[in-house]
Structure 1
Amino acid sequence: MSKITRVPGYMQSKGNRNRGPIGDREIRYKCSMQNTILDVLRARPGWQEVSGDGDWDFYWCDREWLHANYDTMFLQEHQKILHFRNHYELTRKNLMVKNLKRLRKQTEREMGKKEAESFDFFPTTYELPSEYHIFVEEFKKNPGIIWIMKPAAKSQGRGIFLFRKLKDITDWKKGEYQPLTDPNREVPETYVVQRYIENPYLIGGRKFDIRVYVLVVSYNPLKVWLYRSGFARFSNSRFSLDSIEDAYVHLTNVAVQKTAPDYDPDKGCKWATQQLRQYLTAKHSADAARKVFQGIDNIIIKSLQSVQKIIINDKHCFEMYGYDVLLDSKLKPWLIEINASPSLTASGKDDYDLKYGVLNDVLNVLDLENRLTGKEKRVGGFDLIWDDGPVLADDGSMECSVNGSSTTANSFLGCHSERKKQLREIYTAAQALKKSVAS
């Protein structure tokens, strides 16, 4: 039997008592989702679905299950499970900003203001109701600008609204000053209020943001994989600041846009990241496009570093984040939010193919089958961009195929990806190396 790793506070789970390490046997999995990830798991050769209390090697669980059960189990050496215990330190909007602000202050203290400027990628943000009075002071300094209110722990555009006047949030704030002794007192839900980016980069007159997939397999040391493909999500209506109450203009969430009267489900208001990079290269230059995507790299690494010492690291856990990034009219990338459970439900065939590839490559990176050497810098569509420090591209590696632009960092977001061919090559190379070592 394999060595059992004890996690403080865990109780023995009966499903995990007699399960040995993974060798040539089948890999048993559980999945709490009924979407693309289940299709991927069921199509995976040598993987077998289990239900109920059956023992498992891999579990794609939802966050609620993890929070309810993480502290009541033992996990064996080989088991893998989605989500770190306190992933919300990065994925709740208020905590994300709190952690980024703290690391920015620390960076300025230790390395100076110049280095701290590398954190200038998230809008001015306050938590409400706790920072309401500070927000009001800032609001009065900049009369007439637009602010955006977002629930700290909701997704898919729910509860979001824009405003220019303080009276527009009076109803929301009303419960804050009710006496604590009042039995009918309602505590306002935690929100963040952010300065709205009024000059987004537009294509065809429409606003968009970029969904980027990031896989973290360890926080100590920090090990980060970036997926080459993603998509730009466009609003269904032309952008205008004259109609700040129109969600179809300002919110790019698919959950919002698909309710528009003229929404086309076949097109889904999306571009592949490769298409966006090609557009930016043709419209501006290869160098301008490269700087955009280098800025996104910086956002990813700095945000993960902001929680590196806070996240409860566990070698059994991994996280697949969905980053949402917005470009302004000067091509500066801004971090909008980070999702711990990015949508895996496809809006069309191209979207399904993308998500199927992402999820398949998550499993390829985790490598429960033990088919890799562990030294790979690219697996399918994922490139290793951070491994306890920046990862550089190998000499002679495939350059980004947009007008021949290249980079020294091992990051190829928006670049061409022949993932199936690459997988065949690395598996063949890994098998050959293992045979030579064995002989």
Structure 2
Amino acid sequence: MQQQQSQDISPWNQNNQDILTVTEQQVDEFKTSYENFQQQQNQYQKQKSIKLNTTNCRGETRLIRKLISKNNWKEVFIDGDVCWLGLPFQYQNLEEYFTQYVNRFPGMDLLAHKTQSSFYLNKFAQYFPEQYEFFPKTYIIPDEIDKFQQEYKSTLTYIAKPDAGSQGDGIYLIKKLKDIKTNESMVIQQYISKPLLIDKKKFDLRLYVLITSLHPYLCYINREGLARFCTVDYEKPNDKNLRNPFMHLTNYSLNKRNTNFQFYSGKNILDINDGTKRTYSSIKKNLEILGYNNQDIENQIDNLIVAYLQSLLPFLEFNSKLIFQKRVAEVKCFQVLGFDILLDENGKPWLLEVNSNPSLSIEHEIFSANGKSVFEESYIDSYVKELVMGDAIKLAVISKENQEELLEFGSYRKLEVDQNETIFSKMMQLYAYLSGYKFQEYLTSSKFQKLANFPQMTSQQFLKNDYDLLFRKIILKSCNNNQMDFFQFINAIEQLAFRLNQDLEIMLDRIIQNF
């Protein structure tokens, strides 16, 4: 019964109840366009039965096996069409990348890590401020503790997120400087204190983005998603409610323990309801009633995701070359990312976090009065995640050439991501050159000093010997005092341009041309 319900409902296949006045020519054009789309969909969906290797599955096993049964695929434990990895890339999985489609890009887990993603998003915002206004002001602690203390405003609220935390663990709100735990590695963000409320409660969206190729860069967003609600009515942060996680944090792992948690109990999960976890389709109906323009919100969400994906590409390319080197063109990777997005009272979307390993659990935990709990299948999680992962696997195994023709596939639609070089892709290219074309993970002092051999890379004020001093200054806070990672290299290049009084991008172009 549960499975039948999740198969029959689909928000983009339902008839629109609004009657519009259109001409016969427009009707004919629509029919022709729709028929062409259907033929294209049928062409790619009539695939052979996929053999899915589940040897390395973990918590997502139940979902993957449901997909195998639902789609008449075959579960195998060696040499499948698709190899599912429950953990980030590890070298023992290297050969599988050349023989099967694998659901992980090497290094994605690090790029979506709170500290590193905050670092490069801050950098992109510094260089492209108009394109990167979609995430709250963020500080990396302890590295930027001085900067935070200088820019701190007592009228604002901040949210601290431990670097190694997940599922809401260790997150707390700050209004006073003395409340910061400076001995912990974390990111501190400006708290969005005027969120859009539904049923008087704060909520956020978990939307799913699929990357199937780096060359060409093919990215898709799923039309469906989840909304996670707080379980206590929202109030603006004050001294009394600051420590109430059920009011300010939307994490399911926290709110499921509150007696106010509402499980979905209706007939149609796409309808407006009072559940603590809902579908994105349901939320869009709420937003329409509240007077918000769903298309405008969707466009803004698309823009912020595209900007994030553009910032991600140079790093993904580097990691792939680092791991696969000369065989990089042979690998077949795909990955689904979870984007956590908050809408403010004006309907503006804010990117809170990107998860490289979004939960694929299709169960929810029900607590009894004695504190014990049981697990039951969640209609909403099962519906959304079957849609997201089922169509992701089907789409990933289509050839890149055919994917390039597809604007839509199942529950996904393509995002147009600009692949033009940015200043950061040039930095990454230079970083690779300095490590001897071998794409090593770190630079040593001697490799960094190779920059001094290029024209205009020294001056009367900044001599060749100063490179070693700069190197040591940059890596002083590093655990390994003899190596420089790429994020430290960015700081070093910026300081070089400043000390040599040169335009950074022109300087990079000149060096790259001489390699």
Report if TM-score (shorter chain) is over 0.5. Answer: yes
Whole-angstrom distance in 2 between the partners of 1:158 and 1:84: 26
Following superposition, the deviation at residue 389 of structure 1 comes to 6.4
Show the counterpart of 1:100. Answer: 121
Whole-angstrom distance in 2 between the partners of 1:251 and 1:318: 30
Which of 128, 143, 165 aligns to 2:154? It is 143
Whole-angstrom distance in 2 between the partners of 1:80 and 1:63: 15
2:62 pairs with 1:32: no
C-alpha contact (below 8 Å) 1:40/1:356 kept by paired residues:
yes
Show the counterpart of 1:351. Answer: 381
Show the counterpart of 2:166. Answer: 155
1:317-361: per-residue Cα shift (whole Å, max 9, x none)?
Answer: 111001000011111110000111111112321321121121110
Show the counterpart of 1:309. Answer: 314
C-alpha contact (below 8 Å) 1:97/1:125 kept by paired residues:
yes
Whole-angstrom distance in 1 between the partners of 2:214 and 2:68: 25
Show the counterpart of 1:193. Answer: 188
Show the counterpart of 1:414. Answer: none
Q: Which amino acid aligns with 2:72?
A: P
Which of 386, 404, 407 aligns to 2:416? It is 386
Whole-angstrom distance in 1 between the partners of 2:90 and 2:308: 23
1:265-292: per-residue Cα shift (whole Å, max 9, x none)?
Answer: 335512321222222223215xx32221
* CA root-mean-square deviation: 2.5
Q: Which amino acid aligns with 2:187?
A: V
Q: How many pairs does the alignment contain?
A: 333
Following superposition, the deviation at residue 95 of structure 1 comes to 1.4
2:143 pairs with 1:130: yes
Distance 1:236 1:289, change over 3 A: same
Show the counterpart of 1:261. Answer: 259
Following superposition, the deviation at residue 380 of structure 1 comes to 0.8
- Give the secondary structure class of the aligned counterpart of 2:358: coil
- Give the secondary structure class of the aligned counterpart of 2:416: strand
Whole-angstrom distance in 1 between the partners of 2:417 and 2:342: 26
1:133-191: per-residue Cα shift (whole Å, max 9, x none)?
Answer: 1111111xx1132111001232210110111112212xx32x4xxxxxxxxxxxx3x20
Q: Which runs of 5+ in 1 are unaligned?
A: 1-22, 108-115, 176-187, 391-439
Distance 1:57 1:137, change over 3 A: same
C-alpha contact (below 8 Å) 1:89/1:307 kept by paired residues:
no
Show the counterpart of 2:75. Answer: 48
2:354 pairs with 1:333: no
Distance 1:213 1:26, change over 3 A: closer
Structure 1 runs, 4 residues or longer, greater than 6 Å off:
23-26
2:315 pairs with 1:271: no
Show the counterpart of 2:291. Answer: 284
C-alpha contact (below 8 Å) 2:83/2:96 kept by paired residues:
no
Q: Which amino acid aligns with 2:302?
A: D
Show the counterpart of 1:225. Answer: 220
Show the counterpart of 1:364. Answer: 394
Show the counterpart of 2:38. Answer: none
**TM-score by structure 1 length?**
0.70
Show the counterpart of 2:510. Answer: none
C-alpha contact (below 8 Å) 1:221/1:388 kept by paired residues:
no
Whole-angstrom distance in 1 between the partners of 2:162 and 2:263: 27
Q: Which amino acid aligns with 2:159?
A: I
1:232-281: per-residue Cα shift (whole Å, max 9, x none)?
Answer: 11111101123010111111111111011232333551232122222222
Following superposition, the deviation at residue 102 of structure 1 comes to 2.1
Following superposition, the deviation at residue 74 of structure 1 comes to 2.4
C-alpha contact (below 8 Å) 2:52/2:84 kept by paired residues:
no
Identity, in percent, stands at 28
| Structure number with bigger Rg | 2
C-alpha contact (below 8 Å) 1:42/1:48 kept by paired residues:
no
Distance 1:236 1:377, change over 3 A: same
Show the counterpart of 1:251. Answer: 249
Q: Which amino acid aligns with 1:292?
A: I
Q: Which amino acid aligns with 1:36?
A: L
Distance 1:220 1:284, change over 3 A: same
Show the counterpart of 1:396. Answer: none
- Choose between structure 1 and 2 for higher RCO, CA contacts under 8 A separated by at least 6 residues: 1
C-alpha contact (below 8 Å) 2:161/2:187 kept by paired residues:
yes
Which region of structure 1 is more displaced relative to structure 2, 257-266 or 121-130?
257-266
Whole-angstrom distance in 2 between the partners of 1:219 and 1:136: 40
Distance 1:261 1:100, change over 3 A: same
C-alpha contact (below 8 Å) 1:222/1:386 kept by paired residues:
no
Show the counterpart of 2:304. Answer: 299
Q: Which runs of 5+ in 2 are unaligned?
A: 1-46, 266-274, 321-327, 365-377, 421-515
- Give the secondary structure class of the aligned counterpart of 2:187: strand
Distance 1:371 1:325, change over 3 A: closer
Whole-angstrom distance in 2 between the partners of 1:84 and 1:203: 36
C-alpha contact (below 8 Å) 1:61/1:81 kept by paired residues:
yes
Following superposition, the deviation at residue 372 of structure 1 comes to 10
- Give the secondary structure class of the aligned counterpart of 1:291: helix
Distance 1:25 1:249, change over 3 A: closer
* Between structures 1 and 2, the one with greater helix share: 2
